[in-house]
Amino acid sequence: MTSSTDSAPLLSIDGLSVSFRTRRGVVNALDRVSFDVGCGEIVGVAGESGSGKSVTAFSVMGILDRAARITSGSIHFEQRDVLGMSQRQRDAWRGREASIIFQNPRTALNPIRRVGQQIADVLARHSPDSPRVIRQRVLDALRQVRVSDPEKRQNAYPMELSGGQCQRVGIAMALACSPRLLIADEPTTGLDVTTQAVIMDLIRELARSRNLGTVLITHDLALAAQYCDRVVVMHAGHVVETAEVSQLFTSARHPYTAKLLRSVPSMVDRLDQLQAIEGSLPDLRRNDLPHCRFAERCERRLPVCDSQALTLEVVGPHHRVACRNPL
Amino acid sequence: MSSQRILEAQGISKHFLVDKGGLMRRARSVLYAVDNISLHIDQGEAVGLVGESGCGKSTLARVISRLVDPTAGTLSISGNDVTHIGSLRFVHSPLRRKVQMVFQDPSESLNPRFTVFDIIADPLRQLCRPKRKAEVVARVEEAARAVNLALELLERFPHQLSGGQKARVGIARAMVVDPELLVLDEPTSALDVSVQATVLKLLAHLRQEAGVALLFVSHDLNVVRLLCSRILVMYLGRIVESGPTEDIFNRPRHPYTKALLSAVPSLRADGRVESVHLEGELRSPINPDPHACRLAGRCPRQQERCLREEPELQPCGPDRAVRCHFPLD
């Protein structure tokens, strides 16, 4: 349970805005997103689909779609300006110092390349080792994520492995070059609960033992509660609340967080306590988006919500909320 | 009592022949997807079927909806044995409409070239053969209203709908023929939590209002707990534990059930169960050892007997059964 406000954070995202050009107008996917990730800290980024979680991750990694444009803000990694890096510097940085585990392990791997070869590709890209050393490092990487019988499994194609095994390969690939920042983008979507528990335990254990800064992107607040130190809640491209896990789940201040918590089946005892969040995310192409993008779904909306721009206000130690009328 | 029984399955098995490869592809082995399962569902009841992927729960759901024919066993709908009615004749049987299925991924299971209206009207036209167009329109609109689908959406195509709306179209399509049992194969696994809550509430509402029974297939025990009164836990083609939801949650008897329960992330610190993780992965359902418990190799309570003799499904307490030599207390 570390929080790194005193020392400089590993990753610092500040006022990041991203928009996408589409045939039907400009989508303002992220609006002034800011949060930090410290060394050895696991930060959850939670929200519905379309809230901008993955766009945030892709912006950090520099793998956004060509239609995307970062309109403002900065990303710093160990006080180095990531967005200011040249393409070549960025390519060297990605994979070696920061890496990502993708959402669907089966589709994230190349289907016609043996998994060991795919890990070797990453290693060869970032280190001048001889093929023999690389082969050894591939086996080490597979052993670390506890793939049984790595000598044999390295020759398998993704389709020959189960979903859980594929995700282990994905983790092995992400950690092969010993990065310091790990982004896990919904790493257990599409996996069984039992496999999910094993994979999440593995990610947590590796992150802790290597003192990694970890970002866990998820829509499952229960998962975030179990594995994260701190959670950033996003809604429609805004960060609406950030807090330490214990605080968030006992005293959420933003109406959206509170509603999100009550929509999780494990939070309630009976079905009638379960609450759906009415309405849907606002159309992010609109020019007249309200200051608070949750306002149109909110029961606690006040006139002041529409008149003033929102900022994240500090409401407690490590607890910030962007709301004019918090709970 | 028997008049209320909507579905009764006796000793249902579904085996698939798989090629082992080899010259001439003669070497065949048998995949035991569903192996000798009996279950029954009464009117208006909500039954949960849980297990990991690959345990055969989707195959069982398909057999029960008679999308595939069982290898062995009998299936009766409202007391009528339907196992011996050929597939082609069954389509025209009045029993066909009584069991309807809602598929897993709402985006993949809707025809992209049909409008929402036609998607919902299709089973109605096939199974109920309405005489007049006005009747089709009336029943489609009624089904749409029942699932809170705005009527203006009926003219749209699936790609113009959100995930939650597609899920509701899938349910409306099943409900339009007025079934007595909905078989739901992980209907919420592709949805966000906030949308999942809406769909769960809708299903509970349909069960109450229309009196439709539900067989809810899922790997998420938390969802099943809220919706279902009875749970069947499946592992490698077999039922390993069954019983009322509360009992199973408070006192799981099978080590596998316990592991499943502890794997579900929980938000409440007080309710944090001790974590029991299963080592390894599901064994292959191809030619399983008939003399060993199928959990053997992953089970924390495994003993020598488990490798010699496969346990039977034994009753243990009211409405409960467990398949284990050494059940938990």
pLDDT digits (tens, 9 = 90+) for A88-114: 999 999 989 999 999 888 888 999 999
8-state DSSP, B266 = -
Size of interface A-B (CB pairs under 8 A): 108
pLDDT digits (tens, 9 = 90+) for A113-132: 999 999 999 999 998 889 99
Residue B261 has pLDDT above 50, yes or no: yes
Tens-digit pLDDT string for chain A (327 aa) = 444 444 689 999 999 999 999 888 899 999 999 999 999 999 999 988 889 999 999 999 999 989 999 999 999 999 999 999 999 999 999 989 999 999 888 888 999 999 999 999 999 999 888 999 999 999 999 998 988 889 999 999 998 888 888 999 999 999 999 999 999 999 988 788 888 888 899 999 999 999 999 999 998 888 898 899 999 999 999 999 999 998 888 889 999 999 888 888 887 888 888 888 877 788 888 888 888 889 888 888 888 888 888 888 899 888 999 998 888
Overall average pLDDT of the B282-297 stretch: 82
Best of B168, B194, B201, B260 to mutate (most A CBs within 10 Å, chain A) = B194
Residues A249, B266: C-beta atoms closer than 8 Å: no
| CA separation for the pair A24, A46 (Å, rounded) | 28
Asked if A258 has any chain B CB less than 8 Å from its own CB, the reply is no
pLDDT in tens, B147-189: 989 899 999 999 988 888 899 999 999 999 999 999 999 888 8
B206 contacts chain A (CB < 8 A):
no
- B221 close contact with A: CB closer than 8 A: yes
Q: Which of A193, A234, A259, A270 best tests the B interface by mutation, with the highest count of B CBs <10 A?
A: A193
Asked if A275 lies within 8 A of B221 by C-beta distance, the reply is no
pLDDT, averaged across chain B = 87
Q: What is the dihedral of CA A114, A119, A125, A130, to 10 degrees?
A: -90
Q: ipTM higher than 0.85?
A: no
Residue closest to A271 by CA, chosen among B219, B207, B288, B124: B207
As a whole number of angstroms, the distance between CA B5 and CA B84 comes to 19
HEC per residue, chain A: CCCCCCCCCCEEEEEEEEEEEECCEEEEEEEEEEEEECCCCEEEEECCCCCCHHHHHHHHHCCCCCCEEEEEEEEEECCEECCCCCHHHHHHHHHHCEEEECCCHHHHCCCCCCHHHHHHHHHHHHCCCCHHHHHHHHHHHHHHCCCCCHHHHCCCCHHHCCHHHHHHHHHHHHHCCCCCEEEEECCCCCCCHHHHHHHHHHHHHHHHHCCCEEEEEECCHHHHHHHCCEEEEEECCEEEEEEEHHHHHHCCCCHHHHHHHHCCHHHCCCHHHCCCCCCCCCCCCCCCCCCCCCHHHCCCCCHHHHHCCCCCEEEECCEEECCCCCC
Closest partner CB to A162 (pick from B267, B269, B281): B281
Residue B199 Cα, gap to closest chain A Cα (Å): 9
